[in-house]
Chains A and B, each alone.
Chain A
Amino acid sequence: MALLIAENLKKNFGKTEVLKGISFSLEKGQVLAIIGSSGSGKTTLLRCLNFLELPDEGSITVGDKVLIDCAKAETLDDETIRQNRLHFGLVFQNFNLFPQYSVLGNVTLAPTLLKKGTPEEIEANARRLLDQVGLSDKLENYPHQLSGGQQQRVAIARALALQPEVLCFDEPTSALDPELTGEVLRVIRGLKNRDTTMIVVTHEMEFAREVADVVMYMADGVIEEMGTPEQVFDNPQSEKTRSFLHGAHEKF
């Protein structure tokens, strides 16, 4: 059975339709890469999954729990939305680390506030995660003392600390200098080897091909094409996909 099922998600901002009916499912341990030109609704989709936006139509199911079903009249209260968010993690394009907390503090803050264990357990887990992303020597540093790549790795450890069922990345390397993207992509690759279920919005086509089990190409709020990396990259069915991939290829 699929871990995550999104069905017919639609989202409007005023008169603009940003998501026009997105449906997909994801198995546990799978990695979904989402590609598509800017403005196609990729960020909005991730924000809906993380309940930063509420979809206007459609449903989101994780495991056997229906988190939201817009067909039902009920409106979700703040506490339900908060609980729903715990199924997902989100790593932002521009990190959004908490500047007044050290690296370790950024990772332990939420588990501590949510009482996810004893302080000792929480700290030990945070140290383990920071070791996993290669930042054991930066525990006491503050975000402004780190490079962009290091900050993004802290953000990944911070998201992992709550053990989300699905970890989402919104263009995790887009705000980084080219020479710093490698270290972040390496961490994401490492997570795949640990069977973390992930959704990665990315412009790094080579990376998407390598890390993804499923590739989704979005255009104008719809899924234009979806399949294995081989299907989408090597044998695209839609003309739009072909020209997008062609354009992406040209850039390099």
Chain B
Amino acid sequence: MSFWEVTQFLLDGFYISLLIFAVTLVCGAPLGLPIAFCSMSRFKPVKAISKVVVWIVRGVPLMLQIFIIYYAPGLLFKDQIPLFSRLDRYFFINYGINDAGRIIAVLIAFTINYACYFSEIYRGGIESISKGQYEAGYVLGLTKQQIFRKIILKQVIQRIVPPMSNEIITLIKDTALANCIVVCEIIKQANELAATKALIWPLFYTGAFYLLFVGMLTIILGKVEKKLSYFRS
């Protein structure tokens, strides 16, 4: 196989890695917000449930969570063929894609997992804003919503950009875990070449894809951070 053929083959896998990355970010980042608010709720049961969920999700390996999401529906409903295998078959028959069901399982696991990590970053950011900022808003006769939207939010965003950047960079590398239920992400593709064509170098070559992407992310996130550095809170 030529270098370009290998590149093409690995790119097919990297698109899946990028898909997992994008969906996790687009779904997980907003989902983290209600979880953060639950964790800060004054209503004790909501707070407790939220804290336990976050504790479990952050305390258990993501790989295990992928397995659990993948196998749990079948066990729960005493179904011989797991839900996601059915989806796999459905998509294969109708669209000729062979791992769509498993990709969905991975997307669910990643989204939940990252939403919990994000929620802790949001919570830390929100709780780090001094009480004085809220009180300054209150004495000016502003409502709670106005204070949050117009005063607190931007300060929180400024503070969470660096930890979010770390999480986002970890996320692209974590997509390799999809491997565990045989989703054809880039490392799975490289392994495929090792198994069928006895080519080892493509496995090392995958590193270049990650590095390129992380480099891009670093530049973009650095720009965002810089853009928000015009004030100091």
Query: Chain A residues in contact with chain B, CB under 8 A?
Result: 50-52, 78, 82-83, 85-86, 88-90, 92, 94, 96-100, 109-110, 113-114, 142-144, 158-159, 162
Interface-lining segment among B10-18, B109-117, B120-128, B140-148: B140-148
Show 14 A/B contacts (Cβ-Cβ < 8 Å), sorted by A.
A50-B138, A78-B144, A85-B138, A86-B141, A92-B132, A99-B232, A99-B233, A100-B154, A100-B155, A109-B150, A114-B140, A114-B141, A144-B231, A144-B232
**Hey, which chain A residues are within 8 Å of B151, CB to CB?**
98, 109
**Hey, which chain A residues are within 8 Å of B68, CB to CB?**
none
**Hey, which chain B residues are within 8 Å of A92, CB to CB?**
132, 135-136
**Hey, which chain B residues are within 8 Å of A50, CB to CB?**
138-139
Output the nearest chain A residue to B232 by Cβ-Cβ distance.
A144
Within the assembled complex, what's the spacing in Å between the Cα atoms of A109 and B142?
10
**Hey, which chain A residues are within 8 Å of B155, CB to CB?**
99-100
Within the assembled complex, what's the spacing in Å between the Cα atoms of A102 and B230?
10
**Hey, which chain A residues are within 8 Å of B137, CB to CB?**
110
| A110 engages B230 (CB within 8 Å) | no
Q: 11 more A-B contacts (CB under 8 A) besides A86-B141, A96-B135, A109-B140? A: A52-B135, A85-B138, A85-B139, A85-B140, A97-B136, A98-B133, A98-B151, A99-B231, A109-B151, A114-B140, A143-B232
Within the assembled complex, what's the spacing in Å between the Cα atoms of A78 and B139?
13
| B136 engages A96 (CB within 8 Å) | yes
**Hey, which chain A residues are within 8 Å of B136, CB to CB?**
92, 96-98
Cβ-closest 7 pairs across A and B: A110-B140, A96-B136, A144-B232, A96-B132, A99-B233, A90-B139, A86-B141
Output the nearest chain A residue to B133 by Cβ-Cβ distance.
A96
| B142 engages A114 (CB within 8 Å) | yes
Within the assembled complex, what's the spacing in Å between the Cα atoms of A143 and B155?
13
**Hey, which chain B residues are within 8 Å of A109, CB to CB?**
140, 150-151
In angstroms, how far is the closest chain B Cβ from the Cβ of A104? 14
Of A100, A142, A144, A162, which contacts B140 at CB under 8 A? A162
Query: Chain B residues in contact with chain A, CB under 8 A?
Result: 130, 132-133, 135-144, 146, 150-151, 154-155, 158, 230-233
Within the assembled complex, what's the spacing in Å between the Cα atoms of A13 and B229?
39
| A82 engages B132 (CB within 8 Å) | no
**Hey, which chain B residues are within 8 Å of A88, CB to CB?**
139
**Hey, which chain A residues are within 8 Å of B154, CB to CB?**
100
**Hey, which chain A residues are within 8 Å of B138, CB to CB?**
50-52, 82, 85
Within the assembled complex, what's the spacing in Å between the Cα atoms of A92 and B134?
12
Within the assembled complex, what's the spacing in Å between the Cα atoms of A158 and B151?
14
**Hey, which chain A residues are within 8 Å of B142, CB to CB?**
82, 110, 113-114
Within the assembled complex, what's the spacing in Å between the Cα atoms of A85 and B233?
25
Within the assembled complex, what's the spacing in Å between the Cα atoms of A51 and B155?
25
Within the assembled complex, what's the spacing in Å between the Cα atoms of A85 and B136?
11
**Hey, which chain B residues are within 8 Å of A99, CB to CB?**
155, 231-233
**Hey, which chain B residues are within 8 Å of A85, CB to CB?**
138-141
Within the assembled complex, what's the spacing in Å between the Cα atoms of A89 and B132?
14
Of A51, A114, A142, A159, which contacts B230 at CB under 8 A? A142
Output the nearest chain B residue to A82 by Cβ-Cβ distance.
B141
**Hey, which chain A residues are within 8 Å of B132, CB to CB?**
92, 94, 96
Output the nearest chain A residue to B153 by Cβ-Cβ distance.
A100
In angstroms, how far is the closest chain A Cβ from the Cβ of B27? 28
Task: Specify which of A83, A100, A110, A158 lies most central, judged by the most chain B CB atoms within 10 Å of its CB.
Answer: A100
**Hey, which chain B residues are within 8 Å of A113, CB to CB?**
142, 146, 150
| B233 engages A110 (CB within 8 Å) | no
Output the nearest chain B residue to A155 by Cβ-Cβ distance.
B136
